[in-house]
Structure 1
Amino acid sequence: MKTKGRKRSTNVEDRRGMGGKTLMGGGIGGIIIVLIITFMGGDPGEVLNNIQPNSDSSTPYVESEEEKELVELVSVVLSDTEDVWTDIFEENGLIYEEPVLVIYTGSVQSACGAAGASVGPFYCPGDQKLYIDLSFYNDLKEKFKAPGDFAMAYVVAHEVGHHVQTLLGTTDEIMPLRQKLSETEFNKYQVRFELQADYFAGVWAHHAQGMDLLEKGDLEEALTAASAIGDDTLQKRAQGYVVPESFTHGTSEQRRNWFYKGFENGTLEGGDTFNLID
């Protein structure tokens, strides 16, 4: 993807080296707990009182040359998503509110709770911010075998897709169902929710191509990344078999297909993953 010398977003918050806090119990479970309490109308502060600091924020952070390039990449991609979604929202009589991208190392505190880098990139509707530890780029290359700058661009665009869902009201419609349905039934909605974010990532990629920003092989990098983080692929790698009823993001084929649908369409229409058949 063409990024050198291009406009960067000003909505980037750099918390690298600041450390963070970890929920007792840790990881994605902590985020889910706080999200559940928030959506139920409770006070997440009661949970956050159990957070313990885990690092010293007084030491200045020194970034590597690779990190400098990654900061440029994600900042440019975020800027492009701002332009694309502002136009799309205007075309539909809506106003796009730009999210903030938080870059952190190790662990981070959000309005949804605390998380470590092992959670991976995530979006918090509570503060409308995206959170990314840039070390995930190495995970894409080495752990998931999905190298390339556009693979990382896809990740950013997917999280922005969740922000779009928040602005459209989809998040408020889907997440409360967690309290009304069994885990297995809610997982089905969660999968559709994630696939729609993949579709929206594809919508952005469609417009990036229209602006002549994509380079040879970029589309393949995004599709490879989408496939690499499908539930079935991840479960096979981790345990040797799959448990479909536990899927929360969709299969590799589903994630790849919905991203590509967005790439082909380039519009909000066609992204109703809740009613359409794959």
Structure 2
Amino acid sequence: MEWKGRRQSDNVEDQRGASMGGSPLGRGGMRIPIGGGGRRGGGIGIGGIVVILVICWITGINPLTLLSGGDTGLQDSGYQQSTGGAPANDETTAFVRTVLAETEDTWSGIFQANGGSYEKPTMVLFSGQVSSACGFASSATGPFYCPGDRKVYLDTDFFRELDQRFDAAGDFAEAYVIAHEIGHHVQNLLGILPRFNQARQRMSEAEANRMSVRVELQADCFAGVWGKFTEQKGILERGDLEEALNAAQQIGDDTLQKRSQGYVVPESFNHGTSAQRMRWFKRGFDTGDMKACDTFSGEV
């Protein structure tokens, strides 16, 4: 990915080396899975979501006119800055700022084309642990999006783990991780994510997991849509698409469970299988159309 020399976003908070405290993550945060563990807390019923999405995707009606945005109304659990951390001008920071800028440009254009306005999220870089409106999280949580404060949280050491632990090296693999979390922000702006988080409170664990898979796969598809626009700019290099697809494969629920425990428990899946994640990212990439990302009707 030819990212150097391109615009960098100013919407980044570098909290690496910070000291913080709070309650555990679980109040609506949407994260990249890194093996084991559940999460989240999180309107209208799910049937209503399906109806609205079907109307939007099939008829082409602007979803921004049908879905109201908004966060979950959660309170910030506190943050105290301390000294230390990585320098603000390191290459990883520059990469993150550049990818975030590319997502800003893409989604601003898409929202504008549909008669809406894109609210840019903030990317928070942290090391070790962080406190957000969704609660306290450690690096073991993985990257996550918090609808309560509309921020994406990323411990940049995750990129090294993506390479060494998950065998998913490459800058476009890393960009896919960021774009997936930005996909959750898009869902939040469209009203999909807050409605899911509210409806989930009335679901059984199995039902919530099944719907969570659909939410996560849509974020993968939205990441693919961003990838298509990036390709059209001519900044993707040979092998970049394969890097993203490999990352999607390596962090599928079935692959993670096989790696960590030697067997899979399908009813516990909450992000989707490797095949599903690859398929939905590829659908977004092939079409470049968010209307193609209807994961809420039919089989996934």
Q: TM-score, structure 2 length as denominator? A: 0.82
SS in 2 for 1:269: helix
Q: Are 2:158 and 1:136 aligned?
A: yes
> How well do the aligned residues superpose, as a CA RMSD in angstroms?
2.6
Q: Distance in 2 between matches of 1:58 and 1:83?
A: 32
Q: Distance in 2 between matches of 1:85 and 1:257?
A: 21
Using the TM superposition, give the Cα deviation of residue 21 of structure 1 relative to its aligned residue in structure 2, in angstroms.
Answer: 1.9
Using the TM superposition, give the Cα deviation of residue 70 of structure 1 relative to its aligned residue in structure 2, in angstroms.
Answer: 1.3
Match of 2:41 in 1: 36
AA at the equivalent of 1:61: G
Using the TM superposition, give the Cα deviation of residue 62 of structure 1 relative to its aligned residue in structure 2, in angstroms.
Answer: 4.1
1:112-151 pair list within 5 angstroms: 112-151=134-173
Using the TM superposition, give the Cα deviation of residue 22 of structure 1 relative to its aligned residue in structure 2, in angstroms.
Answer: 4.9
Q: Distance in 1 between matches of 2:194 and 2:72?
A: 15
AA at the equivalent of 1:36: G
AA at the equivalent of 2:4: K
Percent of residue pairs bearing the same amino acid type: 50
1:226-265 pair list within 5 angstroms: 226-265=248-287
C-alpha contact (below 8 Å) 1:102/1:131 kept by paired residues: yes
Q: Which runs of 5+ in 2 are unaligned?
A: 30-37, 43-70
SS in 2 for 1:36: coil
**Change beyond 3 A, Cα 1:172–1:8:** same
Q: Distance in 2 between matches of 1:259 and 1:265?
A: 10
Q: More relative contact order in 1 or in 2 (CA 8 Å, sep 6+)? A: 2
Q: Distance in 2 between matches of 1:133 and 1:20?
A: 14
Match of 2:12 in 1: 12
Question: How many equivalent pairs are there?
Answer: 265
Q: Are 2:160 and 1:109 aligned?
A: no
Q: Distance in 1 between matches of 2:39 and 2:288?
A: 34
* Segments ≥4 residues shifted beyond 6 Å: 30-34
Higher helix proportion: 1
**Change beyond 3 A, Cα 1:13–1:276:** same
SS in 2 for 1:232: helix
Match of 1:269 in 2: 291
Using the TM superposition, give the Cα deviation of residue 44 of structure 1 relative to its aligned residue in structure 2, in angstroms.
Answer: 5.8
Using the TM superposition, give the Cα deviation of residue 58 of structure 1 relative to its aligned residue in structure 2, in angstroms.
Answer: 3.8
SS in 2 for 1:153: helix
Q: TM-score, structure 1 length as denominator? A: 0.88
C-alpha contact (below 8 Å) 1:34/1:44 kept by paired residues: no
SS in 2 for 1:114: strand
Q: Which runs of 5+ in 1 are unaligned?
A: none
Using the TM superposition, give the Cα deviation of residue 72 of structure 1 relative to its aligned residue in structure 2, in angstroms.
Answer: 1.1
Q: Distance in 2 between matches of 1:62 and 1:131?
A: 16
Q: Distance in 2 between matches of 1:132 and 1:34?
A: 17
